[in-house]
Amino acid sequence: MICHKLKVIETMTEGNGLSNVYDDLMIQGVSIDSRTVQTRNLFIPIIRQLDGHDYVEEAISKGAIASLWQKDHPNPPVHLPLIYVDDCLNALQILATNYRRELSIKVIGVTGSNGKTTTKDMINSVLQTKYRVHKTVGNLNSQIGVPLTILEIDKNSEIAVIEMGMSERGQIDRLTRIAQPDITVITMIGVSHLSSLGSREEIAAAKLEIVNGLQDKGVLIYNGDEPLLTNGLNKIRAKNPISIISFGEDDTNDYYVGTTLTNSEGSFFTVGDDKFYIPLLGAHNVSNALATIAVATILGIGPAEMETGFRDLKITGMRMEKVVSPFGFTIINDAWNASPNSMTAAIKTFEELNGYARKFLILGDMLELGEQEQEFHRDIGRNINPTKIDFIYTVGTLGKYIALEAEEKFHKGSVQAFSNKEDLTEKLRNIIKQEDVILLKGSRGMQLETILQNLL
C-alpha cells in the first residue's frame, strides 16, 4: 500500500498548507471511514450522504496520522496535521493516479454491463498460479473504490486486476486514466443504466472509454459477439491503432468455445484442443472464462496453469452461489444484481439444472431500465419455459409484470406476485421440500438475499 512522508503526499494530492512540523510524518495506507481507520492511515473526508469532515478528529483519535481538508469547509481543526485540497474526491483520485505511476506492475482493467466481478475473480485466480496479484475487493469499482484499490497495492505485487463500474458517460474514462491499464476487458453490453444513458449505443460508448487510459502497446479484449463494440472499435482504431482480441460464441472470434457440458456443480468446456472446468453454472460464465483465457495467454500462462486457477476459483458472493440448506433444499443465490441480460442468462442456466425435485424461480425488480422497464419485465415472463420450471414467485412493483406474462403459460397457482419479501418467504416456508431448488435473482436494491437468510 502507499507509504510516504506527509510532505510527499501533499505534492501527490496537489494540496498545500501542511505545517512543516509534520513534513516527515509517514503515512501508511488511506481510509475514508473513521469506523475502520487503521494506525498511520491518511484520512480522506469524502462528502456523500454524510460529510467525512465531521469525522476527521475521530479518525485521528483512532490512529490516523493526518487528514485532507477541503478548502470550502469552515473551521478546520488546525491543531491536527492537515493537507488542504480543493476537492477531497478529486484529491483521492489524483493521489491514486500518481501512486499508480510509481508501481512497476501490469494492470488489467475489467468493465462491462454484466460479469465484471466474476471475470475479475477468474483472472485473479488464474494469474495467481504464476504471479503476485492484487485485485479489487468485492465490487469496489466506483469513482471512490478504484482509487482506494490502487492505493492498497503493495509495491511487490506484479499484477493488479481492477474492476471498473459506471452509471454515466465519462466515469470509465476517469477510472481508466487513474488505473493506466496494460490490458482491458469488456465483458458484454446490456441495458443496465439505460435510464441514465438512454440507449445501448451510449452504454457501449461509455464502456469503450476504457481504452482511453491504455498504456502504449496495450490490449483490449472484448466480446466480439456484440456489434456495438465492434462498430465502436472500428471508429476508435481509425484514430488510435490499439491491439484488440475478441472472444465469444461465434467462431469468427479469436477465442470461442468448442463444446460445453454443464452439471449441477459447474461447467466443462473446450477451447481449441484444451479442456477446462469452472465451478460455475451458465454459458455466460463460460464466456467470462474465455476473456480470462485471453488475458492469461498474453501473460504467458499455459493451459495447465489456467485449469488449476479455474478449479481453485473463489467467487465474490451472490453470483450463482450455491447454498445447501440444513433442511435439504438448495438455493442458488444470484441476488447481487440483475438486468434483462443477466436475469435471462441465470434463468436459462437454472432451467437446464437436473437432479432436483422441483424448481422455484424467485424474481425481483430489475431497476434503472428507463421507459421500457415494464416491457423488459414482461419479456422475462414470456420466455420462461413451463416444462422446466415448477413455480415462479415475484416481488416488487415491476416483478409483477413477469408474473402477469408467465401466468399465460403456467398452471394455475404456480405463479404468484408478492408485494413484499416477508409474505413471499412465508409462502416458501410452507411449500418448499427436500430436494427442491430455488433461484434468487433481482437488482441490488431488492436485497433478495434476505429471503435466503430467513429460510435458513
Q: Is residue 239 scored above 90 in pLDDT?
A: no
> The domain containing residue 66 runs over which residues?
3-87
Domain end call among 58, 87, 116: 87
Residue given cell 476517469 in the structure block: 174
Over pLDDT 90: what percentage of the chain?
Answer: 90
At 263 the pLDDT is 83
At 139 the pLDDT is 79
DSSP states of 323-352: EE-TTS-EEEE--S---HHHHHHHHHHHHT
Q: How many CB atoms lie within 10 A of CB 87?
A: 15
The CA-based diameter of the chain, rounded to the nearest angstrom, is 77
Lowest mean pLDDT segment, chosen from 10-14, 48-52, 122-126? 48-52
CB distance 244 to 254 below 8 Å:
no
Q: Is 327 in the same domain as 225? A: no
Q: Is 343 in the same domain as 273? A: no
Model confidence at 195, pLDDT cuts 50, 70, 90, reads confident
Range 136-155 average pLDDT: 93
Indicate whether 129 belongs to any domain: yes
Per-residue cell: 303: 493451459
At 115 the pLDDT is 92
CB distance 160 to 131 below 8 Å:
no
What's the mean pLDDT when you consider all of the chain? Answer: 95
Q: What is the CA radius of gyration of the chain?
A: 24
Indicate whether 448 belongs to any domain: yes
Q: In a 3-state reduction of DSSP, which class is residue 157? A: coil
Rounded to the nearest 10 degrees, how much is the dihedral formed by the CA atoms of 9, 14, 20, 22?
-30
Per-residue cell: 363: 424474481
Q: Within 13 Å of residue 336, how many CA atoms lie on the same side as its CB?
A: 16
Q: What is the CATH number of the domain that holds 195?
A: 3.40.1190.10
Range 118-133 average pLDDT: 97
Q: For residue 124, give the DSSP letter.
A: H
Q: Is 11 in the same domain as 156? A: no
Indicate whether 175 belongs to any domain: yes
Q: In what order do the strands lie in the sheet with 437-441?
A: 321-324, 330-333, 437-441, 359-364, 391-395, 415-418
Pairwise CA distance, residues 213 & 103, whole Å: 16
Pairwise CA distance, residues 288 & 87, whole Å: 37
What residues contact residue 168 under an 8 Å CB cut-off, 6+ apart? 193, 196, 197, 206
Q: Is 13 in the same domain as 52? A: yes
Lowest mean pLDDT segment, chosen from 137-141, 306-310, 326-330? 137-141
Over pLDDT 70: what percentage of the chain?
Answer: 100
Pairwise CA distance, residues 398 & 328, whole Å: 31
Q: Is 124 in the same domain as 259? A: yes
Is 114 assigned a ligand-binding role in the annotation? yes
Indicate whether 316 belongs to any domain: no
Q: What is the CATH number of the domain that holds 12?
A: 3.40.1390.10
CB distance 174 to 164 below 8 Å:
no
Indicate whether 278 belongs to any domain: yes
Q: Is 18 in the same domain as 151? A: no
Residue given cell 469496489 in the structure block: 140
Phi-psi region of 250 (alpha: psi -120 to 50; beta: other; left: phi over 0): beta
Q: Is 270 in the same domain as 334? A: no
Q: For residue 215, give the DSSP letter.
A: P
Q: What is the CATH number of the domain that holds 326?
A: 3.90.190.20
Q: Is 304 in the same domain as 332? A: no
Q: Is residue 62 scored above 90 in pLDDT?
A: yes
Domain end call among 21, 55, 87: 87
Range 229-249 average pLDDT: 91
Q: Is 21 in the same domain as 111? A: no
**Phi and psi for 289 in degrees, rounded to 5?**
-65, -35
Is 116 assigned a ligand-binding role in the annotation? yes
Indicate whether 96 belongs to any domain: no
**Phi and psi for 53 in degrees, rounded to 5?**
-65, -25
CB distance 231 to 250 below 8 Å:
no
Pairwise CA distance, residues 197 & 48, whole Å: 23
Number of structural domains found in the chain: 3
Is 117 assigned a ligand-binding role in the annotation? yes
- What is the H or E stretch that residue 444 is in? none
pLDDT digits (tens, 9 = 90+) for 287-326: 999 999 999 999 999 999 999 999 999 988 888 889 999 9
Q: Is 209 in the same domain as 353? A: no
At 70 the pLDDT is 98
Is 349 assigned a ligand-binding role in the annotation? no
Model confidence at 38, pLDDT cuts 50, 70, 90, reads very high
Q: Is residue 197 scored above 90 in pLDDT?
A: no
Strand partners, 247: 223, 255
Q: Is 235 in the same domain as 339? A: no
Per-residue cell: 217: 502497446
Q: 116-127 vs 283-298: helix axis angle to the nearest 10?
A: 40
pLDDT digits (tens, 9 = 90+) for 257-290: 999 998 888 999 999 999 999 999 889 999 999 9
Indicate whether 98 belongs to any domain: no
Per-residue cell: 330: 438448495
Lowest mean pLDDT segment, chosen from 76-90, 156-170, 312-326? 312-326
Q: Is 127 in the same domain as 191? A: yes
Is 115 assigned a ligand-binding role in the annotation? yes
Range 113-137 average pLDDT: 95
Q: How many CB atoms lie within 10 A of CB 99?
A: 23
Closest CA to 363 of 340, 330, 387, 386: 340
Residue given cell 494530492 in the structure block: 13
pLDDT digits (tens, 9 = 90+) for 350-381: 999 989 999 999 999 999 898 899 999 999 99
Domain end call among 87, 116, 146: 87
Range 390-406 average pLDDT: 97
Indicate whether 93 belongs to any domain: no
What residues contact residue 85 under an 8 Å CB cut-off, 6+ apart? 13, 14, 15, 68, 69, 70, 71, 91
Work out the end-to-end distance of the chain between its first and last CA atoms, rounded to an integer number of angstroms: 39
At 412 the pLDDT is 93
